[in-house]
Amino acid sequence: MSESRPESTSPGLSTNSDLETVLAAWHEATLRLEQTHEILQSEVRRLSDELEIKNRQLERKNRMADLGEVASYVAHEVRNHLVPVSLYVDLLKRRCATDTMSLEIADKVATCVEALENTVSDLLNFAADPNPTPRPVQLDCLVRDVVDSLGEQLNAQGIETTVEMTGDTTVHVDADMTRSVLLNLVFNAMDAMPEGGEIVISGEACGSDVELEVADSGPGLTDDVRAHLFEPFYTTKRDGTGLGLAHVERIVRAHGARIRVRNCPEGGAAFTIQFPKTIALEAAA
């Protein structure tokens, strides 16, 4: 009987199988490297964008600090010289009490002095570093109080005001600063409607935040104006200082809040402030 020989494995087949395994592993490793490369690229882009944003914020903060110092110096110097001017104008008005023409001139000078004093006040408010003293404030009550205090001016200008506050609108804020913000926004709305119109102030709780909105029925804002709206000294008003809304934004940021502006579909502009119910003070307001 002939002995049976064991079957032998083809060396070529084994080599091909090993090669396929190596190629598959190489392909998988290549795919993983490509994925890792894409992730790293995405992370680098994200970090670069964050760095650019932080650099812009730092640059803006430094610029605002420089502007604040200059504004404070100018305001104090002007105010020091305004005091005697006001006294001399009052003295002149008393001496000209019987001279109608001279009295009219003195009144015009007094009006100009008053306007300059308002500008100085704006400069000093802008120069002051917002340092909120937060306490629980009901925005509903604050809004109605501000609207009541401006009632005569609003009626004289033919502006109808509607207040729509719903839910619990209690937030931890600095009451005086928040009042200043609201006054600035209402005055801004009034300036947009010299011939009368409507202002709607609304507020509601949204999760952990409270939103407060001041909307008007004026002509709205162009894209260019919206882009520069909160920049110091930027204004579209003939006699404006361009500091009101810049001051508003600084106070809002100091409260850890956010402000945005949009044009309403039915016309007019709307400023919306998103307050956290619990204040998160900005490290460098």
State both tokens at 128.
């002051």
Distance of alpha carbon 178 from alpha carbon 256, whole angstroms: 13
pLDDT at 268 (0 to 100) = 93
In the chain, domain spans:
10-128, 135-276
The pLDDT value recorded for residue 190 is 93
Which amino acid appears at position 24 of this protein? A
Asked if the model's pLDDT at residue 3 lies above 90, the reply is: no
Global pTM exceeds 0.85: no
Class of domain 135-276: alpha beta
CA-to-CA distance for 72 and 76, rounded, in angstroms?
6
Quote the pLDDT of residue 42: 85
Q: How far apart are CA 46 and CA 54, in angstroms?
A: 12
The mean of the pLDDT values for the chain is 82
At residue 14, the pLDDT reads: 60
Q: Is the pLDDT of residue 262 over 90?
A: yes
At 178-218, the pLDDT tens digits run 998 999 999 999 999 999 999 999 999 888 899 999 999 99
Q: Has residue 285 got a pLDDT over 50? A: no
Residue 80 CA, distance from chain mean position: 32
Q: Per-residue pLDDT averaged across 159-164, rounded?
A: 94
